[in-house]
Amino acid sequence: MVDQVRETLRERIKRGASFEELENIIRLTRGLRERERWDLWNWAWRYDPEAQKRAQPLGAVRAFFARLTPS
């Protein structure tokens, strides 16, 4: 359940969802415990969809230099 809500939040954040929209998703999802709601809010505040894009080129550079170093 929490993973489904997290995926929905991820999609909405990438599209530029408002605070109220995220609040409605978390608050109105049935079956979540208070701790799960808190965890989802914490995750949503920290989630940065641009971070993955920034991290990918760095991984490619590391892989390139790893091939150059002798074993």
* Span 2-27, pLDDT tens digits: 999 999 999 999 999 999 999 999 99
**Residue 48 to residue 45: CA distance in whole angstroms:** 8
Residue 52 has pLDDT above 70, yes or no: no
Average pLDDT over residues 35-57: 82
Contact between residue 11 and residue 22 where contact means Cβ atoms under 8 Å apart? no
Q: Output the pLDDT for position 33.
A: 96
Q: How much is the average pLDDT of 29-54?
A: 88
Q: Report if pTM > 0.85.
A: no
CA angle 4, 50, 40 (to 5 degrees): 30
Number of domains in the chain: 1
Instruction: Please tell me the distance from the alpha carbon of residue 20 to that of residue 56, in angstroms, as a whole number.
Output: 31
Q: Which domain holds residue 42?
A: 2-68
Q: Across residues 50-61, what is the average pLDDT?
A: 64
Phi then psi for residue 14, to 5 deg, are -60, -30
